[in-house]
Copies of this chain bind each other. A is one copy, B any other.
């Protein structure tokens, strides 16, 4: 079968499947990005399904996720009404998209939670209050530092 994955393709896909795991993304998302990353030609859903041997549903959903943070670019192919995609290869864009779509929402939830914890602290009995207050302050310090690191890390990724 001419659509089988080469050793090299498998190896590269494996790398991205691993990365997907770290980022808590489905395996299929890693596979999709991986195959697009080493394909010089844009691919459509059908190409991707056949190459990766995954279902149409997975392919469609996986591409949706990849588009959501700009890891994949739609490409117009003249005379073909199927949607084609290439991998976005500029790291800064992908990371920025990922941070905005997947990370920042989480961070904001963290802030709300923090506010609620501080309210609850007031109701605490005097004995424990001191210790707990210290811990909450510490936790808030961690949050601040994490937030400060984020923009720096983004800046760390220089243009290619």
Residue of B with least CB distance to A109: B18
Contact A40 B152 (CB under 8 A): no
Which residues does chain B contribute within 8 Å of A124, judged by CB atoms? Answer: 8
Residues A38 and B132 in contact in the complex (CB < 8 Å), given A8-B117, A110-B18, A117-B8: yes
**Stoichiometry, copies per complex:** 2
**Which A107-160 residues have C-beta < 8 A from chain B?**
109-110, 113-114, 116-117, 120-121, 123-124, 128, 131-132, 135-136, 138-139, 141-142, 145, 148-149, 152-153, 156-158, 160
Q: How many residues on chain A are close to B (CB under 8 Å)?
A: 45
Partner of A152, one of B15, B121, B156, B160: B156
Partner of A120, one of B11, B37, B113: B11
Chain A residues proximal to chain B, CB less than 8 Å? 6-8, 11-12, 14-15, 18, 21-22, 24, 37-38, 40, 89, 91, 106, 109-110, 113-114, 116-117, 120-121, 123-124, 128, 131-132, 135-136, 138-139, 141-142, 145, 148-149, 152-153, 156-158, 160
